[in-house]
């Protein structure tokens, strides 16, 4: 192990383990892509190059903003582009540019630091202005600074993939799009300062199967690049400067896990049938087309959720063209064959990925995201629908609408889909004429309106991540309240039951695609509540298959109806834990890591 030559005592830090597995490697400290910037003192001879670097970034930012303006104008009309036009003026303002360049010269500073310092100063001045309108313009300065810094550090981001082998990424936060780009051959694991089990960064970690721990406070201050780090992604433990004994212990643990992975592969063909002969369907959640490898490795029965928004984060221009989308969806359809795939229309906005040109919102989880955004940028939505309908002519694809809160949204989306279908017919382009359209049930309003929504939908998909967030009023990505994000909360179980009953009454299929479907303790309750179609991160399939094969459906039903009326999440958890103990220690360990 190539650690620094300094003998520091071993240090154990606790966070939230979001992808199980042991990783042992060298820390690679990454700056926070949301804008934390480090100060570098540059020698005199580098200053002109640094100024050139800043000018280039400012120029690139102008090009980006101009493109965004055009996109917003085309999608929403000229009136909506005024914020971006103000950004462009700021970028073209030579006074601001000269101030930043002077700062670099006088302070021997790197460009990122200069941008941050000069704009911070401006922000303070704006903050004192009485006029509210002008004061609000401060957020535009912040946006512009953020954009330039992002471009400047984007150049460094390339070096993320040029990092040494055996790296463990350590960052304040990693955006899902950055996580998705990590090269799993080089990155053994990652640790972040913020995040929770169902934050999108965590979901991506599981999908690329890289051991990860999030929510480790001050991690970037405690570790230096090059130091040896161990991650136990199941327990949520991060060990800095491990002692030789600790190193031996975790090396053996890693070996044991590799052995377990081999057993998992051996069991991949076993049917997911309960002891009393009821079959469950175990499907895969996919974020990146590249993940199709693990779809096959774990023998998933179709793709229950394809999070199409990640295509947008990967597209060079921020938006994949119809052709690019068509190729991706067609490839997916071909890979899954008769088992089929459900393509969720883009859930952009919110806490994960954004459509270029849209500002970060004050309260993004309940802002202009998902179906709301689709209906407000109709041309972008239509492009996606065209691509899906065309690809569906080559295989079994379905459409899923995310974050529905209102029957009207479904009606409007269906109208657009029908219109796009007619357009393709008129153009004599090969496409699917009668695609199935599903609705995600992931907010309390949709639970309450499930029967009405079922009249409009061909199927339901229960998104427990957002549902728990909104039902319990707990930010799914906030480590400070992660203990309150509790799928075992009786309110959550009762909501799940309501949805299962509504779907049953209205005779439409329902599946679960939230992270509850990945945890054996929660899956036993889902089975008991009447859900048999489960879609999960592919690496969770072996443990869930084992769970299904170890229970009787009648026992799961008795268990669920017993805990449903308990008063507290803790009571539910203890009761289920005791039940799992009877089924075997392995399942218990998978359900309650650490």
Q: Does 432 bind ligand PEP (CB under 6 A)?
A: no
Comparing CB distances to ligand PEP, the nearer of 122 and 450 is 450
Interface pick for ligand PEP out of 112, 466, 486, 533 (rule CB under 6 A): 466
Comparing CB distances to ligand PEP, the nearer of 176 and 242 is 176
Interface pick for ligand PEP out of 71, 116, 147, 307 (rule CB under 6 A): 307
CA–CA dist 307, 400 (Å, integer): 10
Q: How far is the CB of 536 from ligand PEP (least distance, A)?
A: 10
Q: How far is the CB of 402 from Mg ion (least distance, A)?
A: 6
Interface pick for ligand PEP out of 347, 432, 436, 555 (rule CB under 6 A): 347
CA–CA dist 497, 517 (Å, integer): 15
Q: Which two tokens stand for residue 200?
A: 């999108």
Interface pick for ligand PEP out of 21, 236, 514, 542 (rule CB under 6 A): 514
Q: Does 287 bind Mg ion (CB under 5 A)?
A: no
**In the window 413-452, what residues touch Mg ion (CB under 5 A)?**
442
Comparing CB distances to ligand PEP, the nearer of 37 and 493 is 493
Q: Does 520 bind ligand PEP (CB under 6 A)?
A: no
Q: Which of 206, 200, 166, 201 is nearest to 183 (CA)?
A: 166
Give, in order, the Cα–Cα distances in Å from 449 to each of 55, 159, 405, 410, 444.
54, 49, 9, 12, 9
- Burial of residue 276 (CB within 10 Å: 0-12, 13-18, 19+) is exposed
Q: Does 304 bind ligand PEP (CB under 6 A)?
A: no
Interface pick for Mg ion out of 463, 487, 542, 569 (rule CB under 5 A): 463
Comparing CB distances to Mg ion, the nearer of 466 and 515 is 466
* Catalytic-residue membership of 19: no
Name the one range near ligand PEP by CB under 6 A: 47-55, 75-83, 372-380, 457-465.
457-465
Q: Which of 200, 354, 431, 489 is catalytic?
A: 200
Q: Does 58 bind ligand PEP (CB under 6 A)?
A: no
Q: Which of 255, 256, 254, 226 is nearest to 241 (CA)?
A: 226
Task: Give the rounded distance of the alpha carbon of 239 from its chain centre.
Answer: 25
Q: Does 464 bind ligand PEP (CB under 6 A)?
A: yes
Name the one range near ligand PEP by CB under 6 A: 275-283, 459-467, 520-528, 567-575.
459-467
What phi, psi does 211 have (nearest 5°)? Answer: -55, 135
**In the window 171-200, what residues touch ligand PEP (CB under 6 A)?**
none
Comparing CB distances to Mg ion, the nearer of 250 and 346 is 346
Q: Which of 500, 434, 433 is nearest to 464 (CA)?
A: 500
CA–CA dist 238, 11 (Å, integer): 8
**In the window 351-410, what residues touch ligand PEP (CB under 6 A)?**
none
Name the one range near Mg ion by CB under 5 A: 62-70, 228-236, 417-425, 463-471.
463-471
CA–CA dist 490, 494 (Å, integer): 6
Question: What does 445-484 look like in DSSP terms, one character per residue?
Answer: HHHHTHHHHHHH-SEEEE-HHHHHHHHHT--TT-GGGGGG
Comparing CB distances to Mg ion, the nearer of 240 and 492 is 492
| Binding partner of residue 516 among ligand PEP, Mg ion, none, CB cut-off 5 to 8 Å per kind | none
CA–CA dist 211, 459 (Å, integer): 34
CA–CA dist 216, 191 (Å, integer): 7
Comparing CB distances to ligand PEP, the nearer of 347 and 421 is 347
Q: Is 220 helix (H, G, I), strand (E, B) or coil?
A: helix
The answer for residues whose C-beta is within 8 angstroms of residue 285's C-beta and 6 or more apart is: 203, 207, 303, 304, 305, 306, 307, 513, 535, 536, 537, 538
Q: Does 511 bind ligand PEP (CB under 6 A)?
A: no
Q: Which two tokens stand for residue 241?
A: 């400067």
Name the one range near ligand PEP by CB under 6 A: 178-186, 275-283, 422-430, 460-468.
460-468
Residue 350: how many CB atoms within 10 A of its CB? Answer: 23
Residue that the structure tokens 């990640």 belong to: 310
Interface pick for ligand PEP out of 32, 50, 442, 479 (rule CB under 6 A): 442
Instruction: Tell me which residues touch Mg ion (CB under 5 A).
Output: 442, 463, 466
Instruction: Tell me which residues touch ligand PEP (CB under 6 A).
Output: 203, 305, 307, 347, 442, 463-466, 513-514
Q: Indicate which residues carry an active-site annotation.
A: 200, 513
């Amino acid at each position: 192990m190539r650690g620094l030559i300094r003998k520091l005592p071993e240090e154990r830090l606790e966070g939230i383990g979001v992808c199980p597995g042991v990783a042992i490697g060298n820390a690679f400290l990454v700056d926070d892509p949301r804008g934390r910037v480090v100060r570098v003192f540059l020698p005199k001879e580098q200053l002109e190059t640094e100024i050139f670097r800043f000018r280039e970034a400012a120029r690139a930012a102008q090009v980006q903003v101009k493109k965004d303006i055009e996109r917003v104008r085309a999608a929403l009309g000229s009136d909506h582009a005024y914020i971006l036009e103000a950004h462009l003026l700021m970028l073209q303002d030579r006074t601001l540019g000269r101030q930043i360049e002077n700062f670099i010269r006088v302070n021997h500073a790197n460009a990122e630091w200069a941008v941050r310092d000069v704009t911070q100063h401006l922000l303070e001045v704006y903050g004192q202005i009485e006029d509210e309108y002008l004061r609000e313009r401060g957020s535009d300065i912040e946006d512009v600074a953020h954009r330039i810094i992002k471009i400047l550090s984007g150049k460094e981001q390339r070096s993320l993939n040029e990092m040494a082998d055996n790296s463990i990424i350590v960052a304040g936060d990693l955006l899902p799009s950055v996580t998705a780009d990590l090269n799993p051959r080089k990155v053994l694991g990652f640790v972040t300062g913020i995040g929770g089990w169902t934050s999108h960064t965590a979901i991506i970690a599981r999908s690329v199967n890289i051991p990860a721990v999030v929510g480790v406070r001050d991690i970037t201050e405690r570790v230096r690049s090059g130091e040896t780090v161990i991650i136990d992604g199941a327990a949520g433990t991060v060990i800095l400067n491990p002692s030789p004994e600790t190193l031996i212990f975790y090396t053996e643990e890693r070996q044991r896990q590799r052995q377990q992975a081999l057993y998992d592969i051996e069991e991949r063909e076993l049917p997911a049938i309960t002891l009393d002969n009821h079959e469950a369907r175990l499907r895969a959640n996919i974020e990146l087309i590249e993940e199709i490898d693990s779809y096959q490795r774990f023998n998933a029965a179709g793709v229950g959720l394809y999070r199409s928004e990640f295509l947008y984060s990967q597209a060079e221009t921020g938006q994949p063209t119809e052709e690019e989308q068509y190729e991706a969806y067609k490839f997916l359809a071909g890979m899954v064959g008769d088992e089929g795939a459900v393509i969720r229309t883009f859930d952009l906005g919110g806490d994960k990925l954004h459509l270029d040109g849209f500002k970060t919102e004050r309260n993004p989880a309940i802002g202009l995201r998902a179906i709301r955004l689709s209906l407000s940028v109709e041309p972008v939505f239509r492009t996606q629908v065209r691509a899906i309908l065309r690809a569906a002519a080559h295989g079994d694809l379905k459409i899923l609408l995310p974050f529905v809160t209102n029957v009207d949204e479904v009606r409007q989306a269906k109208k657009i889909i029908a219109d796009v279908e007619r357009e393709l017919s008129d153009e004599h382009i090969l496409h699917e004429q009668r695609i199935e359209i599903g609705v995600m049930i992931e907010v309390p309003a949709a639970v309450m309106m499930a029967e009405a929504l079922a009249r409009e939908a061909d199927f339901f998909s229960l998104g427990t991540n957002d549902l728990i967030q909104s039902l319990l009023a707990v930010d799914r990505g906030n480590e400070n309240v992660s203990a309150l994000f509790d799928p075992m909360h009786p309110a959550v179980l009762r909501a799940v039951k309501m949805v299962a009953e509504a779907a049953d009454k209205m005779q439409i299929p329902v599946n679960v695609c939230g992270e509850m479907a990945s945890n054996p303790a929660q899956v036993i309750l889902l089975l008991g509540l009447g859900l048999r179609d489960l879609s999960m991160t592919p690496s969770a399939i072996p443990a869930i298959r084992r769970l299904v094969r170890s229970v009787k459906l009648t026992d799961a039903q008795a268990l669920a109806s017993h805990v449903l009326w308990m008063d507290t999440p803790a009571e539910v958890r203890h009761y289920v834990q005791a039940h799992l103990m009877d089924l075997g220690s392995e399942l218990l360990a998978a359900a309650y890591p650490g």
